[in-house]
Amino acid sequence: MNTDHLADLRHHIRAMETQAPMAPWRRSGSCAVGGLEMVGYGDNSDFILILSSSGRGVFDAINGWKVARDLETYNEDESWFDFTRLQCLGIGPLEGQVVTMAGLWGGGLVRVSDDGFALQAVAPTWPDFRVLLSPPRANIHNHLDQCVQVEEDYEIRAFGFSPTGKSFLVALNHTLYTFIRD
């Protein structure tokens, strides 16, 4: 393994700044969420279920609005959150759905869209993480100049594309950022 190449790669990534994603993507919204713990997309939708230290909420990634909220906190006896499977019962437009979650306790969201856009977290200056968006057929190792840093923070809880492929999210411990296709 060529360590000089990796040193150069880390240097170039550290020099990147957070900016707007490449076309056809754009930021659709952000939502301050104190104590954000877990997020997950509803089935075949762009609704995001958010679990925080103060309850559940639903955010519409397409229009950037909070559309539902409850203030019921949870504990290990709650029937609406499965700590083993990381699944949560939805509220509002996700009422009746079981949503698979990702965040503080594990899990994961889809990292590649159907048409090849990809999201990747890197930490060239740990503990600071960066989320990079790559266009189809590009990656940080051979086309870093085509990748865009869409977020940087010391604690990225989750990131990934929606089941529809129309949006993606980056969840920090204090804010949810959403991006959509034009």
> Does the CA dihedral 109-152-67-167 come out positive or negative?
negative
Torsion of CA 92, 98, 101, 106, to 10 degrees: 150
Task: Kindly state the percentage of the chain with pLDDT values over 90.
Answer: 75
Other beta carbons within 10 angstroms of residue 79's beta carbon come to 7
* pTM assigned to the model: 0.92
Is the predicted pLDDT of residue 94 greater than 70, yes or no? yes
Q: What is the pLDDT of residues 30-82, one digit of tens each?
A: 999 989 999 999 999 999 999 998 889 999 999 999 999 997 665 555 688 89
Please, which pLDDT band fits residue 22 given cuts at 50, 70 and 90?
Answer: very high
Number of structural domains the chain divides into: 1
Q: Is 72 left (phi over 0), alpha (psi -120 to 50) or beta?
A: beta
Three-state secondary-structure class, residue 172: strand
The answer to whether the peptide bond before residue 127 is cis (omega within 30 degrees of 0) is: yes
Q: Which of 17-21, 34-38, 52-56, 145-149 has the lowest mean pLDDT?
A: 52-56
**Is the pLDDT reported for residue 13 higher than 90?**
no
Residue 112 CA to residue 60 CA, distance in Å, equals 20
Structural domain span for residue 63: 3-181
